[in-house]
Homo-oligomer: A and B are copies of this chain.
Amino acid sequence: MLRWLTAGESHGPALVAMLEGLPAGVEVGAKDLQAALSRRRLGYGRGARMKFEQDEVEFLGGLRHGLTLGSPIAVRIGNSEWPKWTTVMSPEAVSDEAYAASDDVNAEKEVARNKPLTRPRPGHADLVGMQKYGHEDARPVLERASARETAARVALGEIAARFLDQSYGIRLVSHTVSIGTASVHEGADLPTPDDVEHLDADPVRAFDPAGSAAMVAEVDAARKEGDTLGGVVEVLAYGLPPGLGSHVHWDR
Contacts and interface: CB of A to CB of B under 8 A. Distances in A.
A243 B132 CA distance: 7
Interface size class of A (residues with CB under 8 A): 35 or more
A205 interface: no
A226 B60 CA distance: 35
Nearest to A16: B74
Contacts of A243: 127-129, 131-132
A49 interface: no
B250 A61 contact: no
A8 B71 CA distance: 8
Contact of A8 (B3, B74, B127): B74
A101 interface: no
Contacts of A94: 65-66
A164 to B, nearest CB: 18
Nearest to A145: B247
Given A60-B13, A92-B30, A92-B66, A7 B72 contact: yes
Interface in A66-99: 66, 69-74, 76, 89-94
Interface string A3-24: 1011111001111101011011
A64 interface: yes
Contacts of A132: 70, 243, 246
Contact of A61 (B16, B61, B72): B16
Nearest to A242: B128
A74 B189 CA distance: 44
Interface stretch (A133-141, A169-177, A216-224): A133-141
A249 B92 contact: no
Interface in A193-210: none
A5 B76 contact: no
Contacts of A59: 91-92
Interface of A: 1, 3, 5-9, 12-16, 18, 20-21, 23-25, 29-30, 58-66, 69-74, 76, 89-94, 125, 127-129, 131-135, 139-141, 143-145, 153, 242-243, 246-250, 252
Given A20-B249, A66-B94, A127-B242, 16 more contacts: A7-B62, A8-B72, A8-B74, A12-B60, A15-B60, A18-B18, A25-B134, A30-B92, A66-B93, A69-B133, A70-B132, A70-B133, A72-B249, A76-B76, A128-B242, A129-B246
Kindly list the 9 A-B residue pairs having the minimum CB-CB distance in the complex, ordered from nearest: A66-B93, A128-B243, A7-B61, A145-B247, A7-B74, A59-B91, A7-B72, A8-B61, A63-B91
